[in-house]
Amino acid sequence: MDSFDATTEFREQILRVKNSDNSIPIVLVGNKADLREERVVPLEMARQRAERWGVPYVETSAKRRENVDKVFYDLMREIKRRKGGPMGTTTAGLDPSQSGGKKKSGIKKLCSIL
């Protein structure tokens, strides 16, 4: 439950740092879906948080390769929904020259995943 509780602080920090009015695309992800019998966070609680934040909620299992790709597809949909414009195959419709921040190699980042 500690990591779930921390999501509120993570979200608030992201919004504060980005000076955002909730336009930052976020997807709430529950992991280890293959361990249902060891669930600590009730499914309904996670869904309610995602609904309150107005973001998608996805449960994943890396072990079973369940919904791992879906998280990235949902994130691309959120980027398109919040930023508008056409969606490209690799950049989700974002212009790299307007994406902010640079990597050490000089290539601009398109998104940050925490």
The answer to whether residue 103 scores a pLDDT higher than 60 is no
* pLDDT value of position 89: 41
Residue corresponding to tokens 């249902």: 36
The DSSP string of 89-103 is TTTTT--GGGS--B-
Q: What average pLDDT does the segment 93-111 reach? A: 49
pLDDT digits (tens, 9 = 90+) for 13-44: 988 888 776 678 889 999 999 998 988 999 99
Domain definitions of the chain by residue range: 2-98
Beta strands in the chain (DSSP E): 28-30, 57-59
Please give the CATH superfamily to which domain 2-98 belongs: P-loop containing nucleotide triphosphate hydrolases (3.40.50.300)
The answer to whether residue 73 scores a pLDDT higher than 70 is yes
The answer to whether residue 45 scores a pLDDT higher than 90 is yes
pTM of the model as a whole: 0.66
Most confident residue range from 8-22, 33-47, 95-109: 33-47
